Structure 1
């Protein structure tokens, strides 16, 4: 089968598609023919060996995928060949086939295309866990989403609206801000302007945001926290800017504010009941049509580098998707 293979940690231009063996089936496993796979910011870091944990070489990158069940192990009864599914795994999704434990898969509602399915789990689980389980976002509270047009940010915009919040989307270009409005943002801010905090103060009537959803990091994070409402909650989701900010401890004291970490990789292990509950909520929204995953740019498998480069340049609108088959 064809797969993107990382033999050495390298730039995106240093990896390629090549033929490798189709994966076999172990006990409890399902083999899926992949129809679409997602590329996120973390995938780009992993390829270069810059992520906080490193995949052993060689490896096939990609953690999220959607496709069709091709074969199942004898001890698997929940899935049958021909079923559409979505899944998450540590790596291996940028390939024509993948074999994973059956627990890593969920049935894909028939009305949801592979491209939307591949963009669903990581971003939307991160958003719901952060906003519901960590920040306890309430209806009518003010939610500020930084980096609102990216895959992680736009998911938070949608979930915030489903939870009844007033959503202010912060993004660097007019195109990105218009994109956020299209998917539910009530108002927008250009956080590249030096007076953006004044605009935020005006939009919130001097109250400030009750919850800040922050996948960006850097100086904008520090400025956002300085504008937070009393007893506000600042969600640390990632550092797409490439800079990890250092917050002076007197600021949470003066603001009565809380800094809350959000790490998707640890949720299932450390909070299995919460993980199950939130996944159930997300799939209910997905099946009912209340939540429609935002699909960004779709590129063919042979152009996979384009997806990585668009994501790394922070010019992506929504999740980058690689189409296979």
Structure 2
């Protein structure tokens, strides 16, 4: 089979597609023929060895995928050949086939394309965990989403609306702001403008946002916290700006505000009951049509570098998808 292989932590141009043996099916395992895989910001960092944890070399990148069960071990009852599935793993999704334990898979609801399935789990679980379990976002509150046109940002926009919030989408270009508006944002803000906090103040009746969803970090995160409502909650999701901000401790005191960390990698291990509840909610919304995953640019497998580079340039709208023939 063909797979993207990282042999040395390198630039995107330094990795390539190689021939690899078909993965075995261990006892209790399932082999999936992958139809589509998602590329997120973290995937680009991992390939270059810039993420906070490193995958042992060599490795196949990619954490999210959708496809069809090709074969399963005899002791697996929940997944049979021909079943459409979605999966999430530490690595290995940028390949034609992958072998995983059943716990890594979910049944893909009927009429959901592989591209949508592959873009679903990480972004929407991050968003719902942040807004529901961490911030306890309530109906009628105001939610400010920074980086609102990216994969996890646009998920937060959609989820915020489903939860009954007023959603203000902050993004750096007119195209991105219109994109967020198309997925439910009530208002938009250009946070590259010097007076953007004045605009935010006007949109919130002088109170500021109750919840800030922040996958961006950097200076914009500090300025956003300075505008937060009394007893507001600032969700620290990531640092797409490349800069981790340092917050003066007097600001939470003066604002009565809280910083809340959101780490997708730890949810299932540390809060298994919450993870189960949120996943059930997400897949119920997906199956019922109340939630439609936003699929960004789709590129063929042989052009996988384009997906990584689009993410690096921060020009992606939604989640980048690599499609297999």
Query: How does the TM-score come out when normalised to structure 2?
Result: 1.00
Distance of 2:301 and 2:91 partners within structure 1: 16
Distance of 2:98 and 2:195 partners within structure 1: 49
Where do 1:1-325 residues align within 5 Å?
1-325=1-325
Distance of 1:36 and 1:242 partners within structure 2: 28
Deviation by residue 1:78-97 (Cα, 9 ceiling, x = unmatched):
00000000000000000000
Deviation by residue 1:113-136 (Cα, 9 ceiling, x = unmatched):
000000000000000000000000
Deviation of 1:146 (Å): 0.1
Deviation of 1:75 (Å): 1.0
Deviation of 1:110 (Å): 1.3
Distance of 2:110 and 2:102 partners within structure 1: 19
Distance of 1:19 and 1:68 partners within structure 2: 21
Deviation of 1:28 (Å): 1.3
Distance of 2:279 and 2:307 partners within structure 1: 27
Deviation by residue 1:137-166 (Cα, 9 ceiling, x = unmatched):
000100000000000100000000000000
Distance of 1:163 and 1:96 partners within structure 2: 37
Deviation of 1:27 (Å): 1.4
Q: 3-state DSSP class of the match of 1:246?
A: coil
Distance of 1:199 and 1:182 partners within structure 2: 20
Q: Which runs of 5+ in 1 are unaligned?
A: none
Number of aligned residues: 325
Distance of 1:184 and 1:29 partners within structure 2: 40
Task: Indicate the RMSD between aligned Cα atoms, in angstroms.
Answer: 0.3
Query: How does the TM-score come out when normalised to structure 1?
Result: 1.00
Deviation of 1:272 (Å): 0.2
Distance of 1:320 and 1:154 partners within structure 2: 13
Deviation by residue 1:44-87 (Cα, 9 ceiling, x = unmatched):
00000000000000000000000000000111000000000000
Q: Which runs of 5+ in 2 are unaligned?
A: none
Distance of 1:218 and 1:29 partners within structure 2: 42
Distance of 2:86 and 2:27 partners within structure 1: 20
